[in-house]
Amino acid sequence: MMRCFIEGIGLLGPALDGWQASRAVLTGDAAYLSAPTNLRASDMLPAAERRRAGVPIKLALAVGQEAFVQSGRDTSAAATVFTSSGGDNDNVHAINGILATAPREVSPTRFHNSVHNAAAGYWCIAAGSHEPSTSLCAYDASFAAGLLESATQVTVDDAVVALIAYDHPYPEPLHSVRPIGAAFGMALILAPRQTGKSLAAIEMEFVPGKADETPMLEPGLEALRRGVPAARSLPLLAALASGKATQVSIACFDHNHLNIRVTPC
């Protein structure tokens, strides 16, 4: 069993414009309306890079920044775990198009932004962080993988870790073979010990066997959970929003799942 304390939360998705603004929706106390994700470039980036930032960088920096502000932690002092099923999906589509026709002129910026860890690279520069940073992918289980990895860093390395999960739709023709419902990002600041900033404790176990995943009761949020790998985090976010002790189960493919006990501090 791994125990972590959550000190900050970030959220940006369709009609989910920030953690504070979304809490009532997540607890079912306010209606979930439909609206596109309010993507914006972070003021953490210099102006030139802000203009060139693709969707993943916008998502990752927005949710990371929100979570850090809430935690009061210094962005330069935390390790980071980024997780995403894709990477910069618009960019990957563009590069495939460029390579399919002559002349194959891939721009340098396109290329270095196409690496899976581009958002991590921009974050570390903007955050001034020399701490360890990793970038994971586990297809539909990417959020679970990121949470598991973050919990091991907290418990084994005694580190403060920012977990940042994001995904966004591919353009066609890839959208048809890998439909991702919306642009969605979320972040958690996880620490090894309770502090005055602790919002909740999570106790997590990696359990063999297929799970009865915790669903979202609201149909729109459930569709979002199923439609976006990073949105598999929604039941955990809803548990955190409720302020009550709650048990959440998240699948890691068909073989395993995470059992997470959320206890408010």
Partner 1 sequence: MQPLVISHITLANSLGLGSAATLDALRSRRSGLIPCAFEDVDLEAYIAKVEMLDSYRVRDDLSAYDCRNNRLAQLCLEQDGFVDAVEAARKKYGAARIGVFLGTSTSGILQTELAYRHLDPQTGALPADFRYAETQNSYSLAGFVTHYLGLTGPSFVVSSACSSSAKVFANAMRMMAAGVCDAAVVGGVDSLCLSTLYGFNSLGLVSRFPCRPYDADRDGISVGEGAGFVLIERATPDNSSGAMMLLGVGESSDAYHMSTPHPEGLGAKLAMQRALDSAGLKAGDIDYINLHGTATKSNDASEGKAVADVFGASVPCSSTKGWTGHMLGAAGITEAIIAMLAVEHGFIPGSMHTQRLDPAMEIDYRIENSEAKIKRVLSNSFGFGGSNCSLVLGREA
With beta carbons less than 8 A apart as the criterion, state whether 223 and 177 touch: no
Only one of the segments 16-24, 88-96, 184-192, 237-245 lies at the binding site for partner 1 (rule: CB under 8 A); that segment is 88-96
Give the β-pairing of 16-17 and 79-83.
Answer: unpaired
Among 69, 77, 106, 245, binds partner 1 (CB under 8 A): 106
d(C-alpha 166, C-alpha 87), whole Å:
9
Residues 5-24 interacting with partner 1 (rule: CB under 8 A):
none
Q: Give me Rg for the CA atoms of the chain.
A: 18
The residue type found at 240 is: L
Torsion on CA atoms 119, 78, 19, 212, rounded to nearest 10:
80
Only one of the segments 28-36, 58-66, 84-92, 239-247 lies at the binding site for partner 1 (rule: CB under 8 A); that segment is 84-92
Among 9, 12, 60, 120, binds partner 1 (CB under 8 A): 120
Site string (169-208) toward partner 1, x via CB under 8 A: ---xxx-xxx---------------------------x-x
d(C-alpha 86, C-alpha 6), whole Å:
26
d(C-alpha 231, C-alpha 211), whole Å:
17
Among 29, 74, 157, 158, binds partner 1 (CB under 8 A): 157
Give me the long-range contacts of 72-76 (CB less than 8 A, separation at least 24).
72/7, 72/8, 72/197, 73/7, 73/8, 73/160, 73/189, 73/197, 75/126, 75/127, 75/128, 75/129, 75/162, 76/127, 76/128, 76/129, 76/130, 76/131
Only one of the segments 58-66, 150-158, 184-192, 217-225 lies at the binding site for partner 1 (rule: CB under 8 A); that segment is 150-158
- Please identify, using beta-carbon distances, which residue of 115 and 201 lies nearer to partner 1: 115
Site string (202-241) toward partner 1, x via CB under 8 A: ----x-x---------------------------------
Write the CA distances from 27 to 31, 119, 219, integer angstroms.
Answer: 10, 30, 13
d(C-alpha 231, C-alpha 32), whole Å:
15
Site for partner 1 contains 155 (CB under 8 A): yes
Site for partner 1 contains 94 (CB under 8 A): no
Site for partner 1 contains 136 (CB under 8 A): yes
- Please identify, using beta-carbon distances, which residue of 128 and 219 lies nearer to partner 1: 128
Give the position of tokens 């609201």: 218
Site for partner 1 contains 53 (CB under 8 A): no
What's the burial of 263, exposed, middle or buried (CB within 10 Å: 0-12/13-18/19+)? middle
- Please identify, using beta-carbon distances, which residue of 30 and 99 lies nearer to partner 1: 99
Site for partner 1 contains 118 (CB under 8 A): yes
Which residues of this chain interact with partner 1, rule CB under 8 A? Answer: 2, 76, 80, 85-87, 92, 95-97, 99-100, 104-108, 110-118, 120-122, 124-125, 127-139, 141-142, 145, 148-149, 151-153, 155-157, 172-174, 176-178, 206, 208, 252-253, 255-256
